[in-house]
Amino acid sequence: MRHLQTAFTNFFGKRTKYPRFKSRKKSRQSAEYTTSGFRFRDGRLTLAKMTEPLDIVWSRPLPEGARPSTVTVSRDSAGRWFVSVLCDDPSVKPLPAADAAVGVDVGLDHLLTLSTGEKVANPRHERRDRTRLARAQRALSKKARGDGANRCKARRRVARIHARIADRRRDHLHKLTTRLVRENQTIVIEDLAVRNMVKNRSLARAISDAAWSEFRNMLEYKADWYGREVIAVDRFFPSSRLCSHCGSLAGAMPLHIRKWTCDNCGTVHDRDVNAAKNLRAAGLAVTVCGAGVRPQRRTPGGQSAAKQKTLRREP
């Protein structure tokens, strides 16, 4: 009833479509139990209308003295069952304040490039299992349509490969985001429109495999847990074309250009490291001034300044 109430609230708020029943075949199967619907004693979970506790392999022990308020049992498309327990964790508390701030530029050649110059390699999890996935998808496509046993087995075989890829990707992102949040007080990222970027057929698969949106979501909720700050810089801010040394703005810069030399000061820039440095500087300006980050349209002291001097000299 609470879920139905939320669905109708979102519908009348014009945020979603009219609520419809969940499909057992297509939707993720799940059931939510409140306090009166389960019993948790001595690390054993018993659901309503069950005589014996569930046989669960816990990924980690619950916090000492924790009392679960909600239990959600779900099954994914690969046929794996999960139990999610909602409770308060007293160990999650703000970390001691730190002076470090870092700019993070995401990419495809390297998953992350930090303003410190460090580059994190892109594991490309999907590419490692691409051959197995293609073979399983071809086998599935040859099975007759319907609810036959052979088609269900083939579909589950594809789902298991997808689940393996997603698990590796999620584990890697958890380790990266936890490290960034623990080491830095302020983390500056770029506000990318990933939904629009995946419309590029040439880069859609690589962008989806990089999971930039999931990286940002993890970073934001962990920063909220541990008292850190995440700043998203405007997506039109020219972080790659702006010289981090003198502030001059370069011209058009296609993606294949990975290094460039500033025409004003002669500094040789690595494209990704330069972008991360500019993001860090822009984020620190936000924390100090409280102003938003706007895209820079003209070069300081460049053509616009020369035109102004010329106009002033005219009688």
Calculate ∠ Cα 213-292-217, nearest 5°. Answer: 15
Which residue in 64, 183, 190, 270 is the catalytic one?
190
Which residue in 183, 209, 220, 272 is the catalytic one?
272
Query: Residue 14: CB partners within 8 Å, gap ≥ 6?
Result: none
Which residue in 64, 88, 105, 224 is the catalytic one?
105
DSSP secondary structure of 8-57 = HHHHHTTSS----PPPTTTSPEEEEE-GGGEEEETTEEEETT-SS-----
Query: Residue 218: CB partners within 8 Å, gap ≥ 6?
Result: 173, 174, 177
Helices (H), the chain: 2-12, 125-128, 130-141, 149-183, 194-197, 204-210, 212-225, 271-289, 303-313
Residue written as token pair 């102004």: 308
Q: How far apart are CA 286 and CA 288, in angstroms?
A: 6
Residue written as token pair 């960034």: 180
> Residue 229 is inside which H or E element, if any?
strand 229-233
- Tokens at 195, concatenated: 């939904």
Q: How far apart are CA 192 and CA 180, in angstroms?
A: 19
Q: 42 an active-site residue?
A: no
Q: 55 an active-site residue?
A: no
Q: 190 an active-site residue?
A: yes
Count of CA atoms in the C-beta half-sphere (13 A) of 289 = 9
Burial (CB < 10 A; 0-12, 13-18, 19+), residue 289, is exposed
Residues marked active site are found at: 105, 190, 272
